[in-house]
Amino acid sequence: MSSFALILCGFLIGSISFAVVVSRLMGLPDPHDYGSGNPGATNVLRTGNKAAAVLTLVGDAAKGGVALWLAQRLVSGGVIVPVLSSEFVLAAVALAAFLGHLYPVYYGFSGGKGVATTAGILFVMSPLMAAVVFGVWLIVALLSRYSSLASISAALTAVIAAAAVFGKSWYTLAVVCMTLLLLWRHRANIMRLRAGTESRIRLGGSRRAPPSGDGGQ
């Protein structure tokens, strides 16, 4: 397997939308068709099915982590011999998995915002870094009850944490790229936060929630 094939596999793994998969398995409507239309855990929670939202969150996080973990095993085991540095290829796989979630090839390139997938990737990169970032997300979410604000805060923290853990490296550059893309995907949320119209985190919801405020997943 070539380095390019490995990166492509990362993208294909990232393209699996657990919001769609879980919804189909549990007989829920397609997440593209209600609420914000965003295929993520926050939108799935609008159905009122907490189990489906949790499974979506775990699945989207796991796919990012699994893509990077498998790449690490293949590179360290000598199955893949990178043309450039090993870290470059692994960082590219991580970024490809993230892009797969944002632009999934299986669903017309209509994906989520990448928060959970980023969390899984960060955990495999460095559990300590992931713990710090998750801690920031949790604190902001509990204090503000804005999933989007928590996600944005965590993403910015990830850049600082990556620089502290990895210094000037391909991993740090990958985290910077993911953060910039995540902020871009949250641009509508940022505008609603500034206007005071963003939806807060709710533990329940209806199948036809209003489209304003799609959280941060």
DSSP state of 129: H
The two structure tokens encoding residue 120:
């899984």
Cα–Cα distance for residue pair 90/87, rounded to 1 Å: 5
Q: Is 4 left (phi over 0), alpha (psi -120 to 50) or beta?
A: alpha
What pLDDT is stored for residue 75 in this prediction?
Answer: 87
In the block, which residue shows the tokens 């043309």? 83
Mean pLDDT by runs of 10 across the 217 residues of the chain is 88 96 94 88 89 95 97 82 79 97 93 94 96 96 92 96 96 97 94 90 50 53
Q: In Å, how far are 83, 90, 124, 148, 167 from 4, measured between CA atoms?
A: 10, 11, 21, 33, 25
pLDDT value, residue 214: 57
